[in-house]
Amino acid sequence: MAFLIPIALLGALLAIPIVLLYMLRLRRREVVVSSTFLWQQIVRDNEANTPWQRLRRNLLLFLQLIILALLVLALARPFITVPAVSTGQIELLLDASASMNANDMPNGETRFDEAKRQALSIVDTLGQNDTMTIIRVANVAEVIAPATGDPSLLRTAINNAHPSEAQADWVGALTLASADAINVSDFNMVVISDGGLGDASGLPGVPGKVQYIPIGRSTDNLAITALSTRSLPGQAPELFAEVTNYGQQDAAVIFDLRVDGNLFSAANYTVKAGSSIPIVTTALPQNFTLLQAGLTTPSDSQVPDYLAEDNAAWTVSSGSGTRRALLMSSENRFLEQVLRSLPSIEAFKGDVKRPLPADKFDLYILDGWLPTDGKLPDGDLLIINPPSSTSLFTVGEETKPAGAFTVKSNDPRTTFVDFKDVNILKFKTLSGVDWAEPLVTTTTGPLLVAGEQDGRQVAILTFDIHDSDLPLHITWPILMANLLEWFTPGAIISVPNGLQVGASLPIRPPFEATGVHVTLPDGSSKDLPIDRQTVVFADTHEPGLYKIDILKGDEIIQSASFAVNLFAPTESNITPQQTISLSGNTIAAATRDEVGQQEFWPWAALLALLILMIEWLVYQRRMQARTVFRPFFRQPVQGVAR
């Protein structure tokens, strides 16, 4: 045994004043007596006040000396040499990926719990001149303890660490660790993980000595590895899912499906070892929003499923974010081409010789046609060359445009629209459109008006497109795109198949937006300020459904949802790897071939505290005994002169 601070042993000299205090202590005790005959004890009383008496056996003195010895021993920091995994400047990479949540360790503990224990054991063997940096490797590598030799700081960082539900960024972690190797001669890297390093295995020139501590015991795991939906025009929505068995024995599983929170189906499947099965459903309800799939193992199953994080998956309907538009026109190829080119519009063409279809549409495009009963459909309206008056406007005579065209360029509906070179033969005058805003006008009347009336958006082009050369100019697709984006706001996100945990999401709010509010799967929320055209949301650390609300002041003007899933074979395949590949080298499990130092001063300090409590109890009992028996001695003897 040796000491890190041997000079602290000088504290043992404090035993001298403790002993002296016991030798100088006054031992006289006052007692009420019944006779002056006891005055003969005055000689002994004088002896009691005489200093430098011979020490007598005293339990309190013995306990206090033991306490002092233990405290001095703790201050001297005694240690013994023990085998260690690594010494010097150590970079500890602690795997915190999703697979470390697997509970295949003894007593149902997770792999991350075992990894923390291994990390703490390395801290316990740090030498006096050793330092350690701890890097938590999740979807983003982060330093949770900078280089230090203080065991208490390192233990606190390890105990406070937690696993993630994402893939590990080993490239970033190894790059971050290697940066600390500059101008360091005794550099060592320790990787505590359960598997391969993926793309990081090809990194060239990782410095220093690399040690690997494998974690994990079993391969048994079932996972949902794919989930998506699609909806073709005129067909029911379809679902495709995939369930994979990464274990070494066939496993039974229950696959359940929930649509908008309601149980839709549940079926039993048997997945062979090391294989996958596809699950296709073609009977999904129309116009659903959210679909959630889940895996559970039957109660009588003998095959365990050690990782729960990949037993659930979510997807948002692929049809969400698009709007159904009905075109009522005898023949207008220009309109049809524009509608086919816009992904946010699902266009249908009606028969002008028949009444409007009974189906509901989000947008009605009426080109030179209106319902014979004069009743406008209940939805947003784009009316081109209206043939007659309606409850929204009155149609006047046809007239020729005069003067230059005036375009309201600061309006989003006419952004980049230029009518300078457009020629229009004639248009129809309108009246009774005070609810609308003129966007393109001439001195003889408006050519385009738009506004909101009765809770719906309405835009009116007052001329027949065929009576102009507008479709031959670039202004035509720009104008239609602007109008249809006003009817159908542009998608703020584009993630048709969802995201993986840890991925970033670009959000494109409209120009008038003032803020973005994101609701996470656990119910918490975050507000993102808008300081540029694209806002990036990166806190996708949890699988589930996220909701985005676009704010204009306190008003929600647009919403969208997206799903985040694990879908990572490298994490769902929990087979523990006994070796890793790094810089072209195969690294086997680490052995304790270094010499470390294990301190045991905390045990000495704990023992000192325990004996201090015993010493306090002994003292309290003596004081209580003296208090109890003293009144007995003070009782005078009856009939005797005092």
For residue 556, the domain's CATH number is: 2.60.40
Query: Strands, DSSP E only, in 455-543?
Result: 456-461, 499-500, 505-507, 515-519, 525-529, 535-537
Q: Which residues contact 607 (CB under 8 A, 6 or more apart)?
A: 70
Are 343 and 438 within one domain? yes
* CATH number for position 369: 3.40.50.880
Domain of residue 286, residue span: 224-316
- pLDDT, greater one: 452 or 114: 114
* Domain tally, the chain: 5
Assigned domain for 638 exists: no
Retrieve residue 135's tokens: 């890097």
Instruction: Concatenate the DSSP letters of all residues of 365-401 into one string.
Output: EEES---TT----SSEEEEES--S--SS-EEEEEE--
Cα angle for residues 402, 404, 406 (degrees, 5° grid)? 115
Assigned domain for 596 exists: no
β-pairing, 585-587 vs 2-3, is: unpaired
Instruction: Write the DSSP symbol of residue 340.
Output: H
Residue 147 CA from chain centroid, whole number: 26
Contact 171, 196 (CB under 8 A): no
Are 193 and 111 within one domain? yes
Last residue of a domain, one of 260, 290, 316: 316
CB atoms within 10 A of CB 427: 23
* Nearest-angstrom CA–CA distance, 165 and 139: 9
Assigned domain for 231 exists: yes
- Sign, CA dihedral 485-488-489-495, equals negative
- Given pLDDT bands bounded at 50, 70 and 90, which one contains residue 298? very high
When computed from its CA atoms, the radius of gyration of the chain, rounded to whole angstroms, is: 41
Total residue count of the chain as it appears in this document: 642
Assigned domain for 640 exists: no
Are 99 and 182 within one domain? yes
* Nearest-angstrom CA–CA distance, 379 and 382: 10
Give the Å distances, CA to CA, from 458 to 102, 217, 236, 634: 57, 65, 31, 109
Retrieve residue 68's tokens: 């002092």
- pLDDT, greater one: 17 or 425: 425
- pLDDT, greater one: 383 or 612: 383
* Nearest-angstrom CA–CA distance, 102 and 24: 66
* Nearest-angstrom CA–CA distance, 394 and 396: 6
Assigned domain for 432 exists: yes
Give the Å distances, CA to CA, from 624 to 31, 32, 615, 618, 629: 17, 19, 14, 10, 9
Are 63 and 186 within one domain? no
Residue 176 has phi, psi (to 5 degrees) of: -65, -40
Last residue of a domain, one of 316, 342, 357: 316
Q: What is the pLDDT of residue 320?
A: 47
The per-residue pLDDT for range 340-355, each reduced to its tens digit, is: 887 667 788 988 888 8
- Picking from 415, 575, 402, the residue whose alpha carbon sits closest to that of residue 483 is 415
The per-residue pLDDT for range 238-257, each reduced to its tens digit, is: 889 999 999 999 999 999 99
Q: What is the pLDDT of residue 35?
A: 60
Beta bridge partners of 271: 251
Q: What is the mean pLDDT of residues 6-17?
A: 70
Start-to-end CA span in the chain (Å): 67
Are 552 and 483 within one domain? no
* Nearest-angstrom CA–CA distance, 224 and 276: 9
Assigned domain for 641 exists: no
Q: What is the mean pLDDT of residues 568-597?
A: 82
* Nearest-angstrom CA–CA distance, 496 and 505: 12
Q: What is the pLDDT of residue 596?
A: 55
* Nearest-angstrom CA–CA distance, 455 and 607: 79
Contact 166, 138 (CB under 8 A): yes
- pLDDT, greater one: 633 or 586: 586
* CATH number for position 264: 2.60.40.10
Last residue of a domain, one of 487, 515, 533: 487
**What is the torsion angle, in degrees rounded to the nearest 10, for the CA atoms of residue 139, residue 228, residue 308 and residue 264?**
150
- Picking from 88, 199, 184, 234, the residue whose alpha carbon sits closest to that of residue 595 is 88
Q: What is the pLDDT of residue 509?
A: 85
* Nearest-angstrom CA–CA distance, 464 and 330: 12
Q: Which of 74-78, 215-219, 327-331 has the lowest mean pLDDT?
A: 74-78
Give the Å distances, CA to CA, from 258 to 270, 271, 525: 21, 21, 24
Q: Identify the residue whose tokens are 């609701």.
A: 519
Residue 378 pLDDT exceeds 60: yes
Cα angle for residues 135, 139, 141 (degrees, 5° grid)? 25
* Nearest-angstrom CA–CA distance, 268 and 270: 7
Assigned domain for 424 exists: yes
Contact 285, 253 (CB under 8 A): no
* Nearest-angstrom CA–CA distance, 264 and 390: 45
Are 158 and 307 within one domain? no
**Order of strands, sheet of 323-328, starting from the edge strand that comes earlier in the sequence:** 345-349, 323-328, 363-367, 380-384, 456-461, 445-453, 436-442, 406-407
Are 363 and 297 within one domain? no
Instruction: Concatenate the DSSP letters of all residues of 564-583 into one string.
Output: EE---HHHH--PPPS-EEET
Are 388 and 509 within one domain? no
Are 338 and 483 within one domain? yes
CB atoms within 10 A of CB 370: 18
Residue 393 pLDDT exceeds 50: yes
Instruction: Write the DSSP symbol of residue 491.
Output: P
Cα angle for residues 380, 381, 386 (degrees, 5° grid)? 165
- pLDDT, greater one: 182 or 567: 567
Are 212 and 361 within one domain? no
* Nearest-angstrom CA–CA distance, 263 and 135: 42
**Order of strands, sheet of 276-281, starting from the edge strand that comes earlier in the sequence:** 222-230, 238-245, 276-281
- Given pLDDT bands bounded at 50, 70 and 90, which one contains residue 303? very high
Are 341 and 481 within one domain? yes
Coil/strand/helix, residue 295: strand
- Given pLDDT bands bounded at 50, 70 and 90, which one contains residue 642? very low
Give the Å distances, CA to CA, from 412 to 362, 467, 598: 20, 26, 71
Q: What is the pLDDT of residue 471?
A: 92
- pLDDT, greater one: 636 or 86: 86
Question: Helices 601-633 and 59-75: crossing angle, nearest 10°?
Answer: 160
- Picking from 552, 555, 564, 477, the residue whose alpha carbon sits closest to that of residue 515 is 552
Retrieve residue 386's tokens: 């209206």
Contact 201, 581 (CB under 8 A): yes
Q: What is the mean pLDDT of residues 541-557?
A: 92
Residue 459 CA from chain centroid, whole number: 44
Coil/strand/helix, residue 563: strand
User: Residue 90 is which amino acid?
Assistant: I
* CATH number for position 179: 3.40.50.410
Q: Which of 50-64, 359-373, 407-421 has the lowest mean pLDDT?
A: 50-64
* Nearest-angstrom CA–CA distance, 129 and 203: 30
Assigned domain for 420 exists: yes
* Nearest-angstrom CA–CA distance, 329 and 313: 44
Are 365 and 409 within one domain? yes
Q: Which of 112-116, 333-337, 376-380, 633-637 has the lowest mean pLDDT?
A: 633-637
- pLDDT, greater one: 245 or 53: 245
